[in-house]
């Protein structure tokens, strides 16, 4: 612990006062003595002067010890008690009260504060229960909104007039992230999030034009105007956008005239694939028309020549050859057109992603219910995801199963599912009498039946609908036969379900909305003068190969989260491993748990840093011991072509401002004071989340000290002892 400057000054002053008192006493005694007595005293004390100095030093030491005890009991202990009380006011741990120390009266005061805090917590719980009961209806509406927006198949984003995102659903998050120019880096996390600008995705002028259009329609009396446009994104994708206005609550006057627009709703649809398919179909049809026109002209000319009466046999045979050749050419072109994926209408049926194991389980239940036979489903790969029309595919499996049971008396059926390259093999297996190929073809092409129920589609229709294949095989060795369906796999099968979000810290439905941002227009534009609670923050941390950035140590992981409108957005995280281009020292691996194998093949820092720069755009950077992390970033700015110019706050320095009398400002100790759980410690994202929780606790304490704006927080940080640390 550092010795307080005021204590050093007090000790020095007391020692000087003691020396001055001794000197004054000696002068007064000397003034009262005769000259001969003075000489005798000088002769007596002269050789003993070092003893006098030692006595002065010993007296000063005793006095310093006494002052130190008084200081800690009467000054430091009350200050620590004050800080512990403020921590307790922010929901922190009560152990800080016990650590405050002090005399008996202060300890009794700490116990009384703890009792009051316990009573406050009890009253708060009672109030919270009453509020929960009173707001149950509001909470239900909120849950319905969250469920609706999360599961809605349409990509929806709601923005205020500044283009800041207030609401988005999961489909919009996934769809917009596919537009990232570097989607493999942190999943394209730099594009979408609460409080972020939609203009990172869409051109500002297009949105302004659409807003002007709907504004004019509102002025003409339209009830629900909307505007639609198509744009090319920065990643080269085509996107169809439908914009509808959000009219402010006070926007309609008593006379019914429309008022101002408070925001807008965007509905997005990536149309690149459908556009390319339509273009390919148009090209095929154009080529067919042009080539057929030439063929028809040749056939017409040949037929006209054949109609002449004086055509000899040789010429007649030549013209007939032309007709047959052009006929074969037209037939070939038509067959190629029909077989082309761009023309195949059967494959453009709406298909959905579904876990293969879920489809097999649904098929097992349906077959057992309709066919009254047991069905095994043991050989099923749980990692397989399919893109299917589950309803029609289940009908096909049940229809085939019922025919096997009714016509051949099959008693036992089995379903198998496994991946096979870029497709999945779904097998309906049985043991029993042989079935002819003609019977299988008949079943495949006839309308499906479920006992007494006839269905409009055939099994072949279902197979064609999926762009799939289906055949019949026998396994003579095992005396089994099976129908095999070769089905399409879902893109990135199951990726969203198997992703290990170990640092999500909660299992509830993520929140993708914050309507309080509709009121963000009241915030002054000067960033330094904005209230701390109104700022948007990117809280980040890095893991590195070592502690010496100027000596070649490199970043191996960047983790970050965002705070917007005073809320920690846990589900809008940035988490990316980085290939450092050098070996990771063995001594550092037990600390962060990152090995060379984990970073092998990961992007280099020159790829990651621009994406992180975009993620942190228009926010205040926050880190714990930020000088260390910022030094690593700054050394890579030139190579990555970016520069971090936004303001930086350091929770280490802010803790030193708020808790000046605490012994430690390590991340673990601050978290313990605030009773914040440490999950994922020494991972970049885990430490960033803990740092974000600490920042949210520190802001009210800073405001209580009169530090309310970003400028005041930065100035107070710069005055602390820890601000002198450099890397």
- Residues serving a catalytic function are 682
- CB neighbours of residue 584 within 10 Å: 21
Question: Residue 60: which of 5, 103, 21 has the closest Cα?
Answer: 21
Question: Residue 49: which of 81, 26, 29, 82 has the closest Cα?
Answer: 26
- Using CB atoms within 10 Å of the CB of residue 241, give its burial: 0 to 12 exposed, 13 to 18 middle, 19+ buried: buried
Rounded to whole angstroms, how far apart are CA atoms 244 and 176? Answer: 19
- Using CB atoms within 10 Å of the CB of residue 192, give its burial: 0 to 12 exposed, 13 to 18 middle, 19+ buried: buried
Question: Residue 547: which of 650, 610, 627 has the closest Cα?
Answer: 627
DSSP string, 128-162: HHHHHHHTHHHHHHHHHHHHHHHH-SSEEEEEETT
The DSSP call for residue 513 is: B
Answer yes or no: are the C-beta atoms of 174 and 490 closer than 8 Å: no
Structural tokens at position 345: 């209408």
Q: Residue 505 phi/psi, 5° resolution?
A: 65, 0
The DSSP call for residue 198 is: G
- Using CB atoms within 10 Å of the CB of residue 658, give its burial: 0 to 12 exposed, 13 to 18 middle, 19+ buried: buried
Long-range contacts of 201-209, Cβ-Cβ distance < 8 Å, separation of 24 or more: 201/176, 201/233, 201/234, 202/231, 202/233, 202/239, 202/241, 202/266, 203/231, 204/163, 206/231, 206/241, 207/163, 207/243, 207/264
The kind and range of the H/E element at 569 are strand 567-577
- CB neighbours of residue 464 within 10 Å: 18
Rounded to whole angstroms, how far apart are CA atoms 222 and 216? Answer: 9
Rounded to whole angstroms, how far apart are CA atoms 228 and 242? Answer: 4
Answer yes or no: are the C-beta atoms of 195 and 165 closer than 8 Å: yes
- Using CB atoms within 10 Å of the CB of residue 515, give its burial: 0 to 12 exposed, 13 to 18 middle, 19+ buried: middle
- Cβ burial 432-461 (10 Å sphere, 16+ → b, else e): beebeeeebeebbeeebbbeeeebeebbbb
Rounded to whole angstroms, how far apart are CA atoms 28 and 25? Answer: 5
- Non-local (6+) Cβ contacts of 641 within 8 A are 606, 610
H-only helix segments in 190-312: 204-219, 272-306
Rounded to whole angstroms, how far apart are CA atoms 167 and 192? Answer: 10
Question: Residue 320: which of 333, 303, 340 has the closest Cα?
Answer: 303
Structural tokens at position 41: 């005293």
- Max CA separation in the chain (angstroms): 170
Report CA-CA distances (Å) from 603 to 184, 187, 557: 9, 13, 11
């Amino acid at each position: 612990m550092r010795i307080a400057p005021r204590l050093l000054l007090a000790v020095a002053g007391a020692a000087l006062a003691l020396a001055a008192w001794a000197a004054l006493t000696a002068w007064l005694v000397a003034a009262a003595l005769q000259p001969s007595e003075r000489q005798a005293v000088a002769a007596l004390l002269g050789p003993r002067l070092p003893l006098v100095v030692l006595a002065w030093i010993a007296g000063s030491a005793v006095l310093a010890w006494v002052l130190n005890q008084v200081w800690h009991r009467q000054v430091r202990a009350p200050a620590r008690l004050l800080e512990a009380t403020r921590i307790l006011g922010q929901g922190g741990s009560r152990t800080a009260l016990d650590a405050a120390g002090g005399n008996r009266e202060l300890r009794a005061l700490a116990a009384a504060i703890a009792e009051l805090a316990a009573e406050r917590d009890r009253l708060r719980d009672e109030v919270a229960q009453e509020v929960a009961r009173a707001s149950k209806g509001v909470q239900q509406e909120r849950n319905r909104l969250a469920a609706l927006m999360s599961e809605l198949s349409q990509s929806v984003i709601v923005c205020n007039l500044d283009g800041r995102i207030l609401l988005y659903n999961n489909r919009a998050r996934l769809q917009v992230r596919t537009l990232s120019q570097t989607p493999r880096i942190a999943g394209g996390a730099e594009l979408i999030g609460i409080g972020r600008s939609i203009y990172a995705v869409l051109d500002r002028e297009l949105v302004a034009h659409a807003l002007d259009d709907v504004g004019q329609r509102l002025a003409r009396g339209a009830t629900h105007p909307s505007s639609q446009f198509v744009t090319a994104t920065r990643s080269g994708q085509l996107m169809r956008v439908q914009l509808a206005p959000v009219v402010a609550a006070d926007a309609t006057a008593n006379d019914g005239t429309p008022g101002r627009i408070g925001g807008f709703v965007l509905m997005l649809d990536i149309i690149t694939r459908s556009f390319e398919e339509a273009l390919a179909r148009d090209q095929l049809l154009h080529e067919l028309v042009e080539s057929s026109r030439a063929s028809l002209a040749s056939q017409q000319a040949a037929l006209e020549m054949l109609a002449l009466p004086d055509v000899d046999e040789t010429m007649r045979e030549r013209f007939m050859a032309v007709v047959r050749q052009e006929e074969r050419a037209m037939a070939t072109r038509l067959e190629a057109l029909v077989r082309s994926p761009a023309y195949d209408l059967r494959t453009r049926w709406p298909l959905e992603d579904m876990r293969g194991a879920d489809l097999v389980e649904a098929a097992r239940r349906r077959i057992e219910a309709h066919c009254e036979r047991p069905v095994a489903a043991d050989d099923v790969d749980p990692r397989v995801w399919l893109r299917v029309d589950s309803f029609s595919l289940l009908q096909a499996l049940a229809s085939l199963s019922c025919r096997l049971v009714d016509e051949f008396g099959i008693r036992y059926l089995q379903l198998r599912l496994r991946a096979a390259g870029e497709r999945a093999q779904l097998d309906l297996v049985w043991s029993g009498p042989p079935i002819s190929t003609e019977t299988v073809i008949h079943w495949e092409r006839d309308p499906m039946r479920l006992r007494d129920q006839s269905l409009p589609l055939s099994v072949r229709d279902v197979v064609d609908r999926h762009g799939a294949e289906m055949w019949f095989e026998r396994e003579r060795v095992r005396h089994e036969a099976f129908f095999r369906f070769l089905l399409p796999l879902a893109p990135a099968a199951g990726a969203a379900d198997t992703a290990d979000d170990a640092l999500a810290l909660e299992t509830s439905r993520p929140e993708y909305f914050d309507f309080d941002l509709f009121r963000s227009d009241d915030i002054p534009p000067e960033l330094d003068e904005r209230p701390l609670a109104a700022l948007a923050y990117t809280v980040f941390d890095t893991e590195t190969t070592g502690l010496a950035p100027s000596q070649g140590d490199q970043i191996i992981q960047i983790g970050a989260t965002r705070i917007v409108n005073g809320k920690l957005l846990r589900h809008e995280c940035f988490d990316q491993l980085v290939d450092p281009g050098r070996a990771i020292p063995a001594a550092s691996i037990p600390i962060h748990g990152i090995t060379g194998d984990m970073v092998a093949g990961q992007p280099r820092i020159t790829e990651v840093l621009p994406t992180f720069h975009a993620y942190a755009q228009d926010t205040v950077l926050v880190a714990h011991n930020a000088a260390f992390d910022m030094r690593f970033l700054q050394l890579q700015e030139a190579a990555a072509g970016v520069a971090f110019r936004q303001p930086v706050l350091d929770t280490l320095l802010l803790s030193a401002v708020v808790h000046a009398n605490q012994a430690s400002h390590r991340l673990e100790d601050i978290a313990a004071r605030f009773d914040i759980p440490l999950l994922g410690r020494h991972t970049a994202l885990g430490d960033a989340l803990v740092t974000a929780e600490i920042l949210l606790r520190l802001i009210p304490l800073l405001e209580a000290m009169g530090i309310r704006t970003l400028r005041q927080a930065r100035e107070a940080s710069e005055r602390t002892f820890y601000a002198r640390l450099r890397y």
